[in-house]
Structure 1
Amino acid sequence: MSPDRPLKGTRVLVPRGGKWGDNVSASLRSFGATPVIAPMINFAPAETPELLDAALARLQNGVYDWLVVTSATTVDVLVGNGIRPPATTRIAAVGETTASALTLAGYRVDFVPEGDNSARGLVKEWPSAEVQGRVLVPQSDIAEPTLVAGLSARGFDAEFVAAYRTVGVPIADDVKRGVAAGEIGVVLITSGSVARQIAAQLAPLPDGTLVACIGPRTAFDARAAGLPVHLIAETRSAAALVEAVVDHALAENTPTEKD
């Protein structure tokens, strides 16, 4: 194994497509891996569009003091509906990836948690001076109530609205066979939704399959879905996820004193 290509000969399941999947795949290839892109979730319009439309109209009209955005998909919903909150409405992003998506779409970002890019991290690091006002939290229909409950406990009038639905995508038969045979040696898990799809469609995973999760919360969700967890990226970023896999490969192939 070359130190510059520690993943040579390793096939890695990348469970998201689009720009994210392409970028992760390019990074994996630079370390010698063979990525297998197999999107396992997709997004569909909310089942209650009238509730979403009403909430977005209130947002546009400046009713909310804060807008909390937890995913690039929510950014797509805002853009698709032509929503531009007034300057009086501040915007919080759950992490750097979401903040980047907002910035690229032309939105101002006022707050991003520094330590923990998760719903819990956002609530924990919320500016202590901000303890009241109305907050809109548009999320997936299956999002846990962590943000709304946490912000409400801090004194906000926090409102959840389903911005989109998260739906499972059947994985291709050849990918299923590759995982079952152990030919795909690493499985990346990028969210609780992905973890549940992997458990439903691919479990039980072979003993030798390495499962890498994009942060502690995703690792918790993966274990809750009955999956083993071997690696946890330190931060919720694609770069950290790939780095965790690469560091593991380097450690596995580093000679010990006995060697």
Structure 2
Amino acid sequence: MTAPAGDEARRPLVLVPRGGAWGDRVAEAARARGLDPVVVPLIVDAPPEDPAALDAALDRLAAAAGRHGAAPTDTPAPDGRSPGTSGARPAAAARPDGRGADAPWLVVTSATAVRAVAGRMAGLPAGVHVACVGEATARVARNTGWPVDLVPEDESGAGLVAEFPVTSGHVLFPRSEIAAATVVDGLRAAGIDVEDVVAYRTVGTGDEPVHLDRAPDVVLVTSGSVASQVARRMTPLDPHTRIACIGPATAEAAREAGLPVHVIGRSRSAEALLDAVVETLPTEAPEAPRSGRSS
């Protein structure tokens, strides 16, 4: 793979680890910040091995919403972003549309989970609360037409668990096949009955080492899956390459994979991660291009 030449070659080279619309959006955001992105897909999403299990779980969510008897609403509810809780876990508030403490919940911790669920049902059943791990996931959920009831101040699985209200309703957590147990274990420890189901798989794009004509100044690590692929296909890293992680949980996964961590984004969005990268990079990249191994 050839790195860009000319003026762009003197900009900090940033490796974007996923392709598709997400990769295009992040690359454009990187260029807007004076960076030179190269999109090298290290992972792709794949359907679950047992799609029937996801369909059955979504049917149970719809049935729970029907038993709750909430009236449908034409307008998505405003974002019910909750403040952090330092004391007792709050009870789920009653809503004008009839949703209360026994309403069912859908918990999503990635944009991919939102798309996986939306792709397998005609619409979110009326009466379902939605909890999103962060604003990036919430943005995709709202764009899908879902109301978003909870986005934790601490945009992490642990933060979501800490702010999740007491509920006796059905809670569905559609997740990646390799998702950490933080959300499920945390909610169950709080006495909340959670059904978790695999909604998608994250798989690597190959086994061969990835070579660029010029080693990247920064590799964006946006999940534990990306961290694993970077460690497997890109190490040893060029001494000048920095690892930038989208959040503390991803940073921990990167360290467990044997990677150094130089940058951690302030929130779980690629844009916030790029901002953190810009703050830590020198204003000019080294003049002489380097050769190195990366992907």
TM-score by length of 2: 0.76
Alignment of 1:138-153 (within 5 A): 138-153=174-189
Q: By how many angstroms is 1:252 displaced?
A: 8.9
Q: By how many angstroms is 1:66 displaced?
A: 0.8
Q: CA offsets, 1:61-80, max 9 Å, x none?
A: 22571110111111212221
Distance 1:219 1:160 in 2: 24
Q: Does 1:99 align with 2:138?
A: yes
% identical equivalent positions:
50
Alignment of 1:98-137 (within 5 A): 98-114=137-153, 116-127=154-165, 130-137=166-173
Q: Does 1:15 align with 2:49?
A: no
Structure 1 residues 241 and 8: alpha-carbon distance in aligned structure 2, compared to 1, 3 A threshold: farther
Quote the residue 1:256 is aligned against: none
C-alpha RMSD of matched pairs (Å):
2.3
Q: By how many angstroms is 1:225 displaced?
A: 0.3
Contact 1:137 1:159 in 2 (8 A): yes
The 4+ residue runs of structure 1 with deviation greater than 6 A are none
Quote the residue 2:211 is aligned against: 177
Secondary structure at 2:281's aligned position in 1? helix
Secondary structure at 2:64's aligned position in 1? coil
Quote the residue 1:45 is aligned against: 47
Distance 1:55 1:186 in 2: 40
Alignment of 1:1-259 (within 5 A): 8-62=10-64, 65-114=104-153, 116-127=154-165, 130-170=166-206, 176-178=210-212, 183-250=215-282
Distance 1:31 1:50 in 2: 43
Contact 2:251 2:261 in 1 (8 A): yes
Distance 2:155 2:20 in 1: 21
Contact 1:8 1:33 in 2 (8 A): no
Structure 1 residues 207 and 232: alpha-carbon distance in aligned structure 2, compared to 1, 3 A threshold: same
5+ unaligned residues in a row in structure 2: which ranges? 1-6, 66-102, 286-295
Distance 1:251 1:36 in 2: 19
Q: Which moved more, 1:84-93 or 1:233-242?
A: 84-93
Distance 2:284 2:167 in 1: 48
Distance 1:251 1:217 in 2: 29
Q: By how many angstroms is 1:131 displaced?
A: 4.2
Higher helix share: 1
5+ unaligned residues in a row in structure 1: which ranges? 254-259
Secondary structure at 1:188's aligned position in 2? strand
Aligned residues: 242
Contact 2:64 2:170 in 1 (8 A): no
Structure 1 residues 93 and 163: alpha-carbon distance in aligned structure 2, compared to 1, 3 A threshold: same
Distance 2:33 2:117 in 1: 36
Secondary structure at 1:138's aligned position in 2? strand
Contact 1:21 1:37 in 2 (8 A): yes
Quote the residue 2:71 is aligned against: none
Distance 2:49 2:116 in 1: 14
Structure 1 residues 85 and 27: alpha-carbon distance in aligned structure 2, compared to 1, 3 A threshold: closer
Q: CA offsets, 1:10-63, max 9 Å, x none?
A: 211000122322222112212332111011111111112221121011112225
Q: CA offsets, 1:129-183, max 9 Å, x none?
A: x24332110001111211111111111111110111111112886xx222xx753
Structure 1 residues 205 and 29: alpha-carbon distance in aligned structure 2, compared to 1, 3 A threshold: same
Secondary structure at 1:67's aligned position in 2? strand
Contact 1:40 1:171 in 2 (8 A): no
The structure whose RCO (Cα within 8 Å, separation 6+) is larger is: 2
Distance 1:28 1:13 in 2: 10
